[in-house]
Amino acid sequence: MQVTNKLTPFFENLNFERDDNTMVINFGPQHPSAHGQLRLVLELDGELVTKAYPDIGYLHRGIEKMAENMTYNEFLPTTDRLDYIASTSNNYAYALAVEKLIGLEVPRRAQVIRTMLLELNRIISHLFFLATHALDVGAMSVFLYAFREREFAMDLMEDYCGARLTHSAVRIGGVPLDLPKGWLENLTIYLDKLPQNIKMYEDLLTENRIWKMRLEDVGTLSPEDAMSWGCSGVMLRGSGIPYDIRKEEPYELYGELDFDIPISQSCDSLGRYKLYMEEMRQSKRILEQLIEMYPQTEQKLMAHAPQYISAPKEEIMTQNYALMQHFVLVTQGMRPPKGEVYVPTESPKGELGFYIKSEGEPYAYRLKCRAPSFYHTGLLQEILVGTYIADVVTIIGSTNIVFGEVDR
Amino acid sequence: MRKYTPKDNVQAKAYYTDRFWVAPRVPRQAVEDEHFKAVVEALGERVKEAYVEINNLVLHIDATQNYAVLETLKDTCGYKICSEISAVDYLAKEGEFEIFYQMLNLDKAKRVRVVCRLKKGLAIESVVPLFKSANFAEREMYDMFGIKANNHPFLKRILMPDDWEGHPLLKTYPLQGDEFASWYEVDKIFGKEYRDIIGPENRDPARIDRYDTKRFSRVGYEVPFDADISSGETKTPIEYSTTFLTDYNTGTKQLDKRK
């Protein structure tokens, strides 16, 4: 029995020796491979994990509670803090849910820009996954190379919206800004270099003996389990289920774009890693098509819906009625119609959906963020059992969980 | 007569609403899709109300039949993924929770939302045997609303600490936290006997006292540390955490007591 006082605190679940020769260890929440604030309580028999209990909530900020106390536009920058690796996907998923609720048509140029940002963000997020996953497994140089590419992509983001991580570059009803001069040229340069870089990562990893030993047949997830645990995104496609929301329930411009959905039948971490690499190539393909689409669009950026969306700045400055509308929208906030909506989107991590219950007030009555990482964390309690303790880090990295999104 | 507003909802409210303003409603369409019709038919009498709202088939059912309905959806209609379970608090207005299950059919790419109403204090049947994703989702629902799920394998708080009191997403729970929340960390880190010395936690990060010369500089003119600039006006009663505010210059040794 531990004797606790203020200087020697109680160590929860730390019980080093037990009668049955098992050991209970505590992994995280301050572990560099815990991808944030994951605490895992592992029961070990030798090196074999016999029980795993993921403990979350260390990054809980009550974002859903805040949503009930903020107007719809106020809440948008808060969504950046969900999956902070790919904040545009969160902004977009939220904006799309509100747009569906009020039935807005977004101008085509805004759609092109949004889709571009989403795909660029997917590349950023996947590069981050690759870097941290490789670092967890032990490949330091891949981390440095992948972060170099990610920096250039974040520079592009910075050129567009001024922020590198918390973009808030999507608004309800469109985008606030047009692309700056020369941005598309820079994007083209970036995309031209991307395939060589992806090839370099693959040369470093795919056939690497150590990488294969660490990833092959590690973290196997059967299709039935993947569905039962509510997996989505790469976790689902890595188990051989070809379901991508961009393809199956197309939103934005994905219905018009030509891209493939890679799937893997191997159900293990190596298969998932290969999917991430292939998805980056597909994102590049999508971006190239969007670059061609962009010049054919008209200049309008925000939807015209005076009841919900402020008029463009020129109109606010010149027309009295637009100014009045703007004043009401800023001071009171928009009031979407009564009703409820659930809109799924394919974020880099999986199915990110927002459920919004509106009672016709400027504040959402209830907002639920369906975060893919939350369910992938739940999966850990089953997928880790029966693996060796050295593989725990590989599996956590392979699920690609981000704790801003898990804890909300 | 003035409109009745529930007093136990402490969330932000619109400060002004036009008296003639009537909120429009998102259109609810009749079930016309072939697949959705088959789903409603398969469930038979258990469906109290069915309509399509923004691409989702919404099925209202009785809370006692949630397990049977989800089982039929899974086995007969192909809804293999339960992507979300959560609740909406209608305790103030109607004395009940609305619980929804967001279901996904992978082959047809269709989504169904199963909605049921649960009276306060009642528990709902857990659907963990059908969908393992419900394990975390129902724990979160319990944590946030206090709705218990019968036969859940491990119903325990998930996001909040185990010894937390109150359920944060209830409408009666204030955004800045309640009395319990303001003492939680003080009690945990220092112990209850230090409450007087430390004071309650300031849980509003945007709170500013305009006469505070300890923490905030004055714009335009300089004021000595801790000078009184209120010119006779009563101070706003804000309790600061005095832990790090001990004024070492004047020599009150509050921190020494702890040794």
How many Å apart are CA A369 and CA A343, to the nearest integer?
Answer: 10
Residues 164-183 of B with CB under 8 A from A: 168-169, 173, 175
Residues 325-344 of A with CB under 8 A from B: 332-333, 335, 337-344
Residues 108-127 of B with CB under 8 A from A: 109, 111, 113
User: Cβ distance A342 to A353 under 8 Å?
Assistant: yes
How many Å apart are CA A283 and CA B158, to the nearest integer?
Answer: 35
Torsions phi, psi for B173 (to 5 deg) = -90, 120
How many Å apart are CA A190 and CA A367, to the nearest integer?
Answer: 37
Helix and strand numbers, DSSP H then E, in chain B: 6, 7
Q: Give residue limits of the domains in chain B.
A: 34-150, 176-253
What pLDDT is stored for residue B259 in this prediction? 37
State yes or no: pLDDT of B61 exceeds 80.
Answer: yes
User: Which residues of chain A make contact with B144, given a CB cutoff of 8 A?
Assistant: 64
DSSP track, A34-89: GSSS-EEEEEEETTEEEEEEEE--TT---HHHHHHTSBHHHHHHHHTTTSTTSHHH
Cβ within 8 Å, pair B133-A230: yes
How many Å apart are CA A64 and CA A82, to the nearest integer?
Answer: 11
Residue of B11, B86, B111 with shortest CB distance to A69: B11
Contacts 24+ apart (CB under 8 A), A16-19: none
Q: Please state the rounded mean pLDDT for residues A218-227.
A: 90
pLDDT digits (tens, 9 = 90+) for A163-218: 989 999 999 989 988 999 999 999 999 999 999 999 999 998 888 888 988 888 88
Residues 212-241 of B with CB under 8 A from A: none
The architecture of the domain spanning A63-370 is Orthogonal Bundle (1.10)
Q: Name the strand (E) or helix (H) holding A388.
A: none
**What is the reported pTM?**
0.87
What pLDDT is stored for residue B241 in this prediction? 42
How many Å apart are CA A96 and CA B118, to the nearest integer?
Answer: 30
What pLDDT is stored for residue A338 in this prediction? 93
Tell the CATH superfamily of the B34-150 domain. Answer: NADH:ubiquinone oxidoreductase Nqo5 subunit (3.30.460.80)
Q: Mind telling me how many Å the CA of A348 is from chain B's nearest CA?
A: 17
State yes or no: pLDDT of B179 exceeds 60.
Answer: yes
What pLDDT is stored for residue A16 in this prediction? 52
Residue of A62, A230, A381 with shortest CB distance to B131: A230
CB count in 10 Å sphere of residue B180: 11
Dihedral sign for Cα atoms in the order A203, A209, A211, A215: positive
Is residue B191 within 8 angstroms of chain A, CB to CB?
yes
Q: Mind telling me how many Å the CA of B172 is from chain A's nearest CA?
A: 12
User: Cβ distance A375 to B136 under 8 Å?
Assistant: yes
From the list A70, A61, A94, the residue with the least C-alpha distance to B11 is: A70
State which residue of chain A sits closest to B111, comparing Cα positions: A342
Count how many Cα atoms sit within 13 Å of the Cα of residue B122 in the half-sphere of its side chain: 16
Cβ within 8 Å, pair B83-A230: yes
Is residue B13 within 8 angstroms of chain A, CB to CB?
yes
Q: Mind telling me how many Å the CA of A405 is from chain B's nearest CA?
A: 12
Q: Tell the burial category of A229 from Cβ atoms under 10 Å away from its Cβ (0-12, 13-18, 19+).
A: buried
Q: Please state the rounded mean pLDDT for residues B194-209.
A: 77
Question: Can you tell me whether residue A290 is helix, strand or coil?
Answer: helix
